[in-house]
Structure 1
Amino acid sequence: MSALAPGSTVGILGGGQLGRMLAVAAAQLGFDVAIYTDEEDSPASRVSARTIVGAYDDAAKLADFARGVEVVTTEFENVPAATAEALIAAGATVRPDPRVLAVAQDRFEEKSFFAANGIATPPFAKVDSQADLDAAIAKIGARAILKTRRLGYDGRGQIRINTAANAEGAHAKLGAPGILEGFCAFEREVSIIAARAVGGDIAFFDLNENEHSGGILSRTTLPSKAPAAVTETAQAAARKVLQAFDYVGVLTIEFFVMPDGGIIANEMAPRVHNSGHWTIEGALTSQFEQHIRCIAGWPLGLTTRIADIEMINLIGDDANDWAKYAAEPGAHLHLYGKREARPGRKMGHVTRLIR
C-alpha cells in the first residue's frame, strides 16, 4: 500500500478517548475517520465522520466497515485479535499486525515474549488452578501479585498476595486463568513510547516518569529522574519488539526501575498510551499524529520535547473541576466527552508545560 493521500478514510477499532484523540489528529492531516465500536454514543464517534456500532465478532458489519476504509488500527489492545484478522480477510490493511494484539492481550504470552527476547521481567508462572498457584508461590515467593491473563487493566483483575496463607482460595476468587508475578520493590515507574514507520524508521519520545494510584495512572512528568542508561535500555527493548513484529505504529512499554538502575518490563500496549498525552502540546509531533502518520505510510514526525511537563489524569469526579483548570493560565485541558463520571473512569487530563 502506498502512502495514503489526504481525503482517505482511516478506520479505528474502538470508540474510547484514545480513538477520539486519534480521530482529531487524523482530521488535522486531512483524513476522514470511521469508528467501529460496540458502544452507542462513544467519545470517538462524536468527532468522526462515520460510526458502525456492532459486536466485534459480527462478520457482516466488519466486512462493511472494511469496504469503507483504506487502513484500520486499534485504540485499545483488548479488541479481539480475531476481529483484526476478519478485517484482513475482508480485504482491509490492518496496522499494527494483529499478531502483536494476540501477545499483548495475554499477560503470560506477553511475559514469555519479553523473556524470549532478552527483556527482563519479574519472575512469573502460569496459574490455572489453586495447585498451580501454590506451586508458583513455593517457587517465586509469597510476596507476589496474582493477575488474570486477559482483560485486566487499570488495576482490575489483580489480587495481591503477601503470605502463603492468604493465597488460599485466591485462584477461585480470581475466577479466570491467571499468572503469578513476583513483587518488584521498584524505585520508580517509567514508560517508553516508540513509533515505527512502514519503511522501518524508528523514533522515540522522551522517557515518561509515571505515578499510579489504585492501579490507574495519575500523573506523568518529564524529564524523568531515571539515569540516562534507563532510557537507553528501554529504547533497546522497544526496538526489539518493533522489529520482531515488523510493527507499524506507536507502541508503549511500561517498566519498573529498580534501585540498582536495572529495569523490568511490566507490560506493553500496542497503541498510543495515557502516559503520552502530554505530547499533544509538549512535543513537535504528538503520539496521536505520529501513529496516524505511521499507519498511513507517511514519514515520521519529529518527537522533540519543547518544555518540562506535568500531565495529570482527571479520574471520576475530578472532571467536575474543569472550570478551575480552564481558568488556570498555561493549563491545557482535555475532556473526553464521556456522559457519566464513575469512580476509576478516565474523564480527561490536564497538561502543564513548565518553561
Structure 2
Amino acid sequence: MSQQASEGDAPSTSNTRFEDTNIVLPGGTIGMVGGGQLGRMFAIAAMQMGYDVVVYCDSADAPGAQVATRCVIGDLNDHQQLTAFAEQCDVISLEFENIPAQAIACCGQQAPTFPSHHVLATAQDRLIEKQTFRDAGLAVTPFLQVSSAADVAAFAERHAWPVIVKTARSGYDGKGQYRLQDAEQAAQVPWAEHDAWIAEQFIPFQREASVVVARSRNGSVRCFPPFENEHHNHILDVSFCPSTLTQSQIANATEMASKAAEVLDLVGLLCVEFFVQEDGRLLINEVAPRPHNSGHLTIEGNHTSQFQQHVRAICGLPLGDPNLRCSGAAMANLLGDLWQAAGGNPPWNQAFSVPNVSLHLYGKRDAKEGRKMGHLTATADSPEQAAQNVRDARQRLSCDSK
C-alpha cells in the first residue's frame, strides 16, 4: 500500500537521518492505540481523508471504536493481541502518552509506529523529560528529584515556598500534583504511594499558552499559532487563538516547540505548554507527544486541524497550513458536571442559538464529575468574541431557558 515519497517540504535542520522515506497514501490503514476522545477525533479526520482506521482499545463501545473502520479489543500488556492488531496496519500512532512503552515497541516490530517507544520513555517520566530539555538548552521550570518532606524543604530553601510536587510518572489534569505552602504540608504528601517524585519551583505566571508542533517523517516542522489557555481546578477550561502573546514571544514559543520536537526525534504532534512569566519570559511547563485539548479549536478555526496534521505527519504527507482561517477561534470543555447539573442530557438547542458554535461530543456513556465529555468551539471576528461565545453557549446548557 505504501509508495515512495516524492520531494515535498524541505527537511528540518535536525541531525536525524530519516531512513524510512515511504509514505502511506489514502486508502492505506492507520492503527490507533487507544480509543478515547483523541483517538475518536483522529479516526474521524483520517477517514475523511480516505484512510481505514483500526483502533486498539479495551471496549467496542470506546469513543474511538464507535467511529473507526474496525477495532481490536485487548489489553495493552497482551503482546499477542497487539501483534495481531499491528499486522493489519501500514502505520501506527497512539492517542495518549501513558501507554506502556513496551506495547508501542511491540507494535513497532510490525509497522512504523509514531511516536516511538523511545519518545514515550522520555515523555512518561517528568524527571527525564525536564532533564532532556534542560540539557538541550531549553528553558524549563527549576526542578529536583525528591522523595521526602525533607527533600522538598531543602528545595524550598533555594527556590522559596510554595513548591509544586508531582509524581514523576502518570498523573494529568492535576492528578498526583500538590501545591505545598510549608514543610508541614510536605509531610502530608503520600510519598510511599509512588517511587519517584519531582519538585518544581512555583512560577507566578501571567498566563498559560501552548504550541502544537507537527514533525513529519521527512523531518519537516510546522507549528500552529499559540493557544492561550485558562484552567479551572487544574483542568483546561477555555482556549482561544490568536493569543495575547507579543510577536517576540510567539517567535520564542514556536522556536522552543520546534526544538523540543527535534530533541525528542518526534514524528507526529507535540504539544508544549508554557508559563508566561511576569517579565515576559517563557518557561516550558510540560509536553505531550500527541494532539492536545487546547488544539481542538483547530477543527473549525484553522486551515488544517491538529488531527489532520497528525495524519499527515505520521503518513509522510506534506504538512498542511496550520494558520487560522478566521479572526478568532475558541474552545470550551464540557465536563460531566454539566450532565449532572442538568439531571440528564443538557438542552443542546440552547447552545446552538449562539452564532458559529459547533458541538463535539465524545460518545461517552457515563457522565462523571470532572470527566471530559465533549467540547464547544466558536469562530468570530476576534478571539475575545469567540471565547465569549463558547462561554455563553456553555452557560446556556446549565439551565433550560426555553
CA distance in 1, matches of 2:249, 2:192: 37
162, 180, 191: which one aligns with 1:161 = 180
3-state secondary structure, aligned to 1:277: helix
Map of 2:169 onto structure 1: 150
User: Match of 1:93, as an amino acid?
Assistant: P
* Deviation sequence 1:131-181 (CA, Å, 0-9, x none): 433433333333111111111100111111012222123243764421111
CA distance in 2, matches of 1:239, 1:274: 19
Map of 1:29 onto structure 2: 49
3-state secondary structure, aligned to 1:190: strand
1:139 aligned onto 2:165: no
Q: What count of residue pairs does the alignment treat as equivalent?
A: 354
* Deviation sequence 1:12-38 (CA, Å, 0-9, x none): 011100000000000011001011123
CA distance in 2, matches of 1:177, 1:39: 31
The TM-score, its normalising length taken from structure 2, stands at 0.85
Map of 1:48 onto structure 2: 68
Preserved contact between residue 147 and residue 191 of structure 2 (Cα < 8 Å): no
1:231 aligned onto 2:250: yes
Cα displacement (A) at 1:227? 1.4
1:88 aligned onto 2:108: yes
Map of 1:337 onto structure 2: 363
CA distance in 1, matches of 2:245, 2:25: 41
105, 111, 124: which one aligns with 2:143 = 124
Cα displacement (A) at 1:103? 1.0
CA distance in 2, matches of 1:333, 1:26: 19
3-state secondary structure, aligned to 1:169: coil
- CA distance 1:324–1:317, shift in 2 (3 Å): farther
Map of 2:263 onto structure 1: 244
Map of 2:12 onto structure 1: none
3-state secondary structure, aligned to 2:152: helix
The TM-score, its normalising length taken from structure 1, stands at 0.96
Map of 2:24 onto structure 1: 4
1:111 aligned onto 2:140: no
38, 59, 67: which one aligns with 2:58 = 38
Structure 1 unpaired stretches of 5+: none
What is the Cα-based RMSD across aligned positions, in Å? 1.5
User: Match of 1:142, as an amino acid?
Assistant: W
32, 36, 44: which one aligns with 1:16 = 36
CA distance in 2, matches of 1:202, 1:283: 17
4+ aligned runs moved over 6 Å, structure 1: none
Larger C-alpha radius of gyration, 1 or 2? 2
Structure 2 unpaired stretches of 5+: 1-19, 340-345, 382-402
- CA distance 1:310–1:166, shift in 2 (3 Å): same
Cα displacement (A) at 1:350? 0.7
CA distance in 2, matches of 1:270, 1:39: 24
Preserved contact between residue 34 and residue 55 of structure 2 (Cα < 8 Å): yes
